Amino acid sequence: MQYATIRVNPENSMHTKTFSLLPILLAIAAGALTPNAASFAAAHHATKPAAHKKATPAATTQPPLDAQTAMAGSPPALPAKAWLLMDFESGEVLASANADEALPPASLTKMMTSYIVEQALRSGKLKQTDLVSVSQNAWCRGSSTESCMYLPLNSQATVIDILRGIIIQSGNDASKAIAEHMAGSEEGFAKLMNAEAQRLGMTHTHFVNPTGLPDPAHKSSARDLAILARAIIHDSVDYYPIYAEREFKYNGIKQGNRNALLYTDPTVDGLKTGHTEEAGYCLVTSSKRNEMRLITVILNTSSAQARADETRTLLGWGFSAFEKVTPLQPNTVVATAKVGFGKTDTVTAGLGAPWLLTVPRGQAVQTSAELKPGLEAPVAKGAVIGKVVASSNGKPVGEAPLVALADVERAGLLQRAWQSMGKLFGK
């Protein structure tokens, strides 16, 4: 029997390996991929040092890191340098530790690379069928020491294939090629990355390259990476499904997505893994259960299985500790606002759209309305005229705009004059 073979690389690591698919298929058939087992993705890219090389020391396990912020009780302590749990809908951080420490992000960097490509596709600056050339700089040379899409030297690939190579295969060659295509060089593309990071509010991030290969100045934080993940999910609707794809074949080489949870948890649909010796094993994940989507970030843990297990723990706590609530229904009257110089002197205010909040499970939610002062006609139905603030246990947990539930036309000249006289005399 002939077996297919694949060359596979860990993210930004130092080894390549050729192996048969048969053991993997047998492992899957035997049920080896359970939520608590080592993942297919992790297993298929683990390698042993070559016989003539000195073995790399085993990764040091981080001590459990307690939560420094948490919106609900009993958050887990996770053995990582930094971790974070975010509610996608609101962007609220539900629990975190070392959320703003600038750390090496390894291939999590490629989330920004792919995001920039996706936004260029959305705006029309790029087309999916545009051809991207592979330069000597971008090409993975022979027995590559980095994760690759395996683009042939001096070849061309479509933008959509390049995007898949970045997201699924973590291709450094794909990342470099698209950087040169869009900005002329890696350095030029890094400027685009940093400008986008600034626009998104990633205040503890500085990118030097599009790959995440080590550089002392190349840093990001758990909070910033969660902000980036949220932007990808929100802004790249047409391309976000790629982050859930388990494998991609290019140039005759099939490689699996290294996000282990894609194989073991059907609620997980992204986003990205990363690993270098300096950064440790990293993972940014998104999971949606019922109406709630959570984003997790794990930075610098000891192994591919550890990053998956810690993510499972964090997601499990998040979905059990929090719930979605609807404080108020749309189009119901929340408050009545005074209107000056209108044919009527008041207008009702309410929510213009459904409002869902993520709050600690079982906690009551209170709401209070804040209306704009000095409101004057004309007021159009649907215009924002204030906000409603939700709180739980005395702490704000969210807010939503209040809109006018009816039109208020401007009064005629005589009526406005009469109203002005009334204000003058305090009536």
State the catalytic residues.
Answer: 107, 110, 170
Q: What are the backbone dihedrals phi and psi of residue 224, each rounded to the nearest 5 degrees, phi first?
A: -65, -40
The Cα 76–Cα 85 span in angstroms is: 11
Contact 329, 352 (CB under 8 A): no
H or E segment and range at residue 371: strand 366-371
The torsion angles phi and psi of 311, rounded to 5 degrees, stand at -65, -45
Task: Provide the total of helices (H) and of strands (E) in the chain, helices listed first.
Answer: 10, 19
* Identity at 328, one-letter amino acid code: L
CA 92 to chain centre: 13
> What do you get for the CA distance between the two ends of the chain, in Å?
95
Q: What is the DSSP letter of 172?
A: H
Using DSSP's 3-state secondary structure scheme, residue 364 falls into coil
Query: What is the distance between the alpha carbons of residues 184 and 192, in angstroms, rounded to a whole number?
Result: 11
How many CB atoms are located within 10 Å of the residue 216 CB? 8
